[in-house]
A and B are shown apart, each in its own frame.
Chain A
């Protein structure tokens, strides 16, 4: 425990934080580095986005001043970047290049050259030359007399706007008033509780100050971080009242059974030691700690409550008057329970999913520590040296035991079995899975309304469409990307190409650059060049034979430009993929239709991909449940023999099989990864009950039944109450635990039959 304290203390000093992002639970997408990077870059980019909008009935400047003030407060506090637009950073670096003019053509210049209309290019070039304070500079005109590079860069810079995070407040006038919108990039992990707290505090402060300075202004904000913060706060509030309820319930139960809360304190001590050891092991093995690891891990360590309760129930047994005799009476059962649980958790380690691995380490280490605490500490802390006779409690236990084995209840048992079969059949009819990550939590209504208001003003989704393009190498990926962009523009000529962000818009493929160079040489170097020189006179010092780089490679770009564009490059070292971000006028369906006919191009749907990963997690968790039941069977066979082992495994197996069906019948369909995790707990506890029952001598059965009843009641109070959570993931876990534990406890006495 001291070592655990040292590890946790060191991590605390180092400032570790708890991850709350669902996605962090999930494995990376198989062996496909392009898709993995696309999802990662897309998720990273989207989750760090914050959009602020201030609205005033008639004064756009007031709205812009207010939104700028809030943004400034965020920047001053180090919460949000002044400049979320990496591309805007990249452009000056490209501008600053001392190279000869590369063969880069704006879309419109290229189209006219391809169409054989150099006069149109000439006309635009003249317009650029005479633009006030324009693009032309004496030093740059010699090799780029048509100002093709500034035109290319201007086009590349244009259109991103809100899609990529404009640092400048942008006013949008509508019938309902003047709105001013600004996008910011968050400077911390939006899924850590610490950063969420800082963001919320700073944002509240900034909005309050702006509201004081600009009375009547309405300020709204939208960010995945705000949704995550609201969800985290909601879960914390729920856990607080559910926890209070559970604590009160468990205390009352213990007092009823033991006329003392001492056993509960002993159990809490064992759990605390287990949680501390689990935390230390997880922090030592992983760089991050996920909130779901804490939830599920602590839940699974909750098995150890049963160990403590079994021990404490032995106080009721006249044949175990001393702490040592009590421990001797329960040790075989709980030791077997520990071994079977550990086998199950080892199974979690075998599944290639980081979330399950972390839970396995946390639970395994925690359970061992809790077990050792029960075995080593409880007999020393146990001061109840004399046998207590709770009278009615034990009598009730004997009465309950007859429900299973008394001949007078045979008809009732048959009716109960029939009812269970009926409910199970209804459940089987209604059963279905739900891996859609969007259904796992109910977002804050206030934030949803703010997000909808911002979307309505922007006139589009705040989340852009992601497309991954893959080739044999980077060059082929760029060529395919260019084909995609051409096809998108062809499919929707009215949409603004600027809303498409892609690497080739800044750095075309070498093939395209070569073609551009040929077009410039063939179509602009003769008469058009002479016409330009005549039009602008001898002013420009235009070279008769401009020098040009024929191939600009990614590595040729300045470091700042490379850093700005890195987010668009996907894949391993050969960087054979690119990311295209489609915003503005194209819908997902339109983009999908265009992408469908192009090689190496696929839409990246983060929701679908993440949901697929949750489906895989669900299947993995179920496989682990099956494997752990098989392991329990093997251990039971080794301990009790084949036939008896089957009777030992039957109760938890039946609980695991029936729980989803009964749950579907009672609470509706939608079996999730979180239900599967609940089944892992049901399997572990169900096996624990069954093994404890099987290890119990005939004369101690009423006490054993009372132990199981108390253990299951505490589990129901501690975790079954989670069924009432407003967070779907937590509620799913709670409801399945509730049903599963009830069934496991009901079935446990069916494990009898072994001869000791």
Chain B
């Protein structure tokens, strides 16, 4: 039952408005002020016309406020920060792109999904510390924004926290996100991460 509720909550977050009160409400309900979740990721992008994936890796920080820092360390140094004000991309510490919440809805919306997936899964962990392994599959109905964005299916699995998400697109491309070393705490992120978050919030 709890898993069903989690799945419904996740579905509502993914297919609901990109920025809305529910999203922030969930974040704030899950993490006490000052708390954050940190972890590492590996991303593999499988293109339909390519035999080998494009692999990247790095770390992320999800703040109690819902602000997300996604730092790629390989094959190139870069970062994106998602806040309520939108999305900011940094390369070599310099801002190269800033999108409002509505601009380029497809990209911003999908990254919002990433944030909500982490936050939504966290809700389950708090309620049920000894959570069993689980998996979920979400298929957008025709006409939904996710379907219009070219998403065919999202599969998420994990235990206390989300551990892997597979995003399949209608054009045959596929993206696999694997999370590791995740933890919740109040420890401040490194200074350079804080600087990026601050720059994005301005």
Contacts and interface: CB of A to CB of B under 8 A. Distances in A.
B25 interface: yes
Given A130-B72, A157-B104, A161-B100, A539 B52 contact: yes
Interface stretch (B4-12, B76-84, B186-194): B76-84
| Most chain A beta carbons < 10 A, residue from B21, B96, B97, B114 | B97
Given A135-B107, A138-B50, A166 B102 contact: yes
Interface string A77-107: 0000000010010010000000000000000
Contact of B80 (A91, A129, A131, A160): A131
A132 B70 contact: yes
Interface string A121-150: 001101101111111111101000000000
A753 B12 CA distance: 93
| Most chain B beta carbons < 10 A, residue from A132, A155, A157, A538 | A132
A81 to B, nearest CB: 14
Interface stretch (B121-129, B133-141, B169-177): B169-177
Contacts of A91: 104
A146 B18 CA distance: 28
A139 B170 CA distance: 12
A498 B78 CA distance: 22
Contacts of A136: 45, 47, 54
B111 interface: yes
Contact of B99 (A154, A169, A541): A154
A552 interface: no
Contacts of B172: 138
Nearest to A168: B102
A539 B54 contact: yes
A540 interface: yes
B111 A539 contact: no
A130 B58 CA distance: 11
A62 B28 CA distance: 13
B24 interface: yes
Contacts of B107: 131, 133-135, 154
A133 B51 contact: no
Contacts of B76: 123, 126-127, 130, 535
B84 A60 contact: yes
Contacts of A151: 97
A170 B100 contact: yes
B100 to A, nearest CB: 5
User: How many interface residues does chain B have, given as a range?
Assistant: 35 or more
Contacts of A137: 47, 150, 169, 171, 173
Contact of A535 (B75, B150, B173): B75
Contacts of A62: 21
Contacts of A65: 20-21
Contacts of A376: none
User: How many interface residues does chain A have, given as a range?
Assistant: 35 or more
B32 interface: no
Interface in A149-185: 151, 153-155, 157-161, 166-171
A417 interface: no
Contacts of B72: 127, 130-131
B13 to A, nearest CB: 14
Contacts of B56: 130
Nearest to B56: A130
A167 B114 CA distance: 23
A531 to B, nearest CB: 11
B53 interface: yes
B119 to A, nearest CB: 14
Given A137-B173, A139-B171, A130 B85 contact: no
B101 interface: yes
A218 interface: no
A64 B110 contact: no
A130 B43 CA distance: 8
A328 B96 CA distance: 88
A135 B84 CA distance: 21
| Most chain A beta carbons < 10 A, residue from B18, B49, B53, B70 | B49
B97 A539 contact: no
| Most chain A beta carbons < 10 A, residue from B80, B100, B114, B169 | B100
Contacts of A168: 18-19, 100-102
Nearest to A135: B107
Contacts of A160: 100, 103
A453 B101 CA distance: 23
Nearest to B53: A539
A13 B171 CA distance: 54
B131 interface: no
A567 to B, nearest CB: 18
Interface string B22-54: 001100000000000000000101111111111
12 contacts: A60-B24, A64-B20, A85-B102, A130-B76, A133-B113, A139-B171, A157-B103, A159-B98, A498-B98, A535-B76, A536-B75, A541-B50
- 6 interchain residue pairs of minimum CB distance: A133-B110, A138-B47, A127-B78, A130-B56, A126-B76, A168-B102
